[in-house]
Structure 1
Amino acid sequence: MSKTSALLDWHQTERRRLIEKNLDLTENCLTGSIYEDPPLKALGSETFDLQLREYGWDWPSVAHTMIGRKRLANVRRLTESVIGTGVEGDFIETGVWRGGACIMIRAVLDAYCIKDRTVWLADSFEGLPPPDEEKYPADKGDKFHTYADLSVSMEQVKRNFEKYGLLDEQVKFLKGWFKDTLATAPIQKLALLRLDGDMYESTMDALTALYEKVSVGGYVIVDDYNVVEGCKKAVHDFLDSRNITPEIIEIDGVGVYWQVA
């Protein structure tokens, strides 16, 4: 091997090491693991527990995501995957809370110097809607709209992006209920669609408006698949209505994903 080839290999290895170190640090900050951020009292516990944070089983008091380390690592890995394989399209999360998963996506794009893709954040930024039990019986008795901690303003999410130096023209917001914003959003193609709307209605609205925009080889992630029955039912009602039978892959016992064929 020539000295030039050896130097190029060293630069490639070093670049990869620095990218990994940067994104690892971002993950640890976003989940609050790095400073052992205690959870909100809403779920009963008040002490930081690494295992709970690993699986997203608590609601952090300060951290910028509640999806846990495993689901956040999944977001990172699939973002890197579509970049590496050249799958076309933007990225969107429907239901963003404090913005952590989207900050992770934007951090990956930044690390790989990707300038031609957008990260879309769709949310009411006012919490979840009361269930429409007549139209969506699967949401009957849903209580998510009663949790004030789930309401995070768009201005706060933007400030969270700014803390990582990642708020720029590649980050765009769709404010409002999904039924009013997603169908008319100026999105042509998606490489990754992440659903975190909890309810049947929110999940179905997002799938109906956006699924056909996901490129072949792209991914769909469903955050609440195993813990919110209405969400799981919406996924299968949608897939069955279109005779789609993807290989659904478990992430952590809570979330799942599949690749669009």
Structure 2
Amino acid sequence: MLAELREQYLTTVARALDGTIYEDPPILFGDTKPNYDSKNREYGWDWPSVAFTMVGSKRLANVRAMVESVIGNRVPGDFVETGVWRGGASIFAKAVLFAYGQNDRRVVLCDSFQGLPEPNEELYPEDKGSDFHKYDALAVSADTVRANFEKFGLLDDQVVFIEGFFKDTMPLVPSEQIAVLRLDGDMYESTIDPLRHLFGKVSKGGWIIVDDYHVVPAAKAAVHDYLDEVGYQPPAINEIDGVGVYFQKV
């Protein structure tokens, strides 16, 4: 019975977070269609107008799978996300921890909470032409994200906010051990900075998720440049949905 209740709880939370439970329309830009589309939402191909995450159902399910993996295998450490938008993926990670009675792991949210930085083309030429900083919809305040946690009854002292651009804040992440590191920086700089500061804290058996691996070439390049820097070759880079990937630290 407990397993059934856990499944029902996590399924309902996921559907509320990704908007599939109420089918909110997307934010309109470019050639976005004005109406809710279940496939777009499943794969995270739209920017929801109301829902708490844009990662889509498949990448949200991956968050659950990775957190359940580290719980089941007793991999020590926190869940850390770099780039959180409205907080949905981190809220779901917290919900999974709650559902399994995990009270000793923190959920650490790292974001500027004011949108993405302008590209530093001198230091990171791979980011040339990036215009994510122009999108006001990507700027969500820390207070708004805290309120979103509260709506699910999941805000407590184990939820930690690290505010500021990653070049300044990555040394401030309090986690000594990380079980799941979720990267959603949408830029070369915002991907390689977290890797350089946090990959070394990922526990053996822990997971690294890269949300935008297949849709932001600069983010993919940052991952492989960093792995080359440290001489680490993961056993496999696993596909999620044609957009995001994940790999294990062994």
Structure 2 CA distance for aligned equivalents of residues 66 and 206 of structure 1: 21
- Deviations along 1:193-223, one digit per CA (max 9) or x if unpaired, are 0000000000000000100000000000000
Structure 1, unaligned runs of 5 or more: 1-13
Report the RMSD for the aligned CA atoms in angstroms. 0.6
Match of 1:260 in 2: 249
Match of 2:93 in 1: 105
1:248 aligns with 2:237: yes
Structure 2 CA distance for aligned equivalents of residues 184 and 113 of structure 1: 27
Structure 2 CA distance for aligned equivalents of residues 186 and 36 of structure 1: 37
1:192 aligns with 2:180: yes
Structure 2 CA distance for aligned equivalents of residues 107 and 250 of structure 1: 24
Structure 1 CA distance for aligned equivalents of residues 185 and 207 of structure 2: 17
Deviates most, 237-246 or 67-76: 237-246
Q: In proportion to residue count, which structure has more helix? A: 1
Match of 1:42 in 2: 29
Deviates most, 103-112 or 34-43: 34-43
Match of 2:49 in 1: 61
Deviates most, 91-100 or 239-248: 239-248
Match of 1:28 in 2: 15
Q: Following superposition of structure 1 onto structure 2, how do residues 1-261 of structure 1 map, counting pairs within 5 Å? A: 14-43=1-30, 44-246=32-234, 247-261=236-250
Runs of 4+ in 1 over 2 A off after TM superposition: none
Match of 1:4 in 2: none
- Deviations along 1:148-169, one digit per CA (max 9) or x if unpaired, are 0000000000010010000111
Deviation of 1:142 after TM superposition, in Å, equals: 0.2
Structure 2 CA distance for aligned equivalents of residues 62 and 245 of structure 1: 39
- Deviations along 1:214-259, one digit per CA (max 9) or x if unpaired, are 0000000000000001000000000011111111001000000001
Equivalent position SS for 2:207? strand
Structure 2 CA distance for aligned equivalents of residues 92 and 124 of structure 1: 15
Instruction: Report the structure number with the largest CA radius of gyration.
Output: 1
Deviation of 1:184 after TM superposition, in Å, equals: 2.8
Deviation of 1:185 after TM superposition, in Å, equals: 2.1
- Deviations along 1:42-82, one digit per CA (max 9) or x if unpaired, are 24221000000000000000000000000000001110110
Percent identical among aligned pairs is 58
Structure 1 CA distance for aligned equivalents of residues 219 and 77 of structure 2: 25
Structure 1 CA distance for aligned equivalents of residues 14 and 174 of structure 2: 29
Structure 1 CA distance for aligned equivalents of residues 211 and 173 of structure 2: 22
Equivalent position SS for 1:34? coil
Aligned residues: 248
Structure 2, unaligned runs of 5 or more: none
Structure 1 CA distance for aligned equivalents of residues 172 and 143 of structure 2: 23
TM-score by length of 2: 0.98
Deviation of 1:170 after TM superposition, in Å, equals: 1.0
Equivalent position SS for 2:171? coil
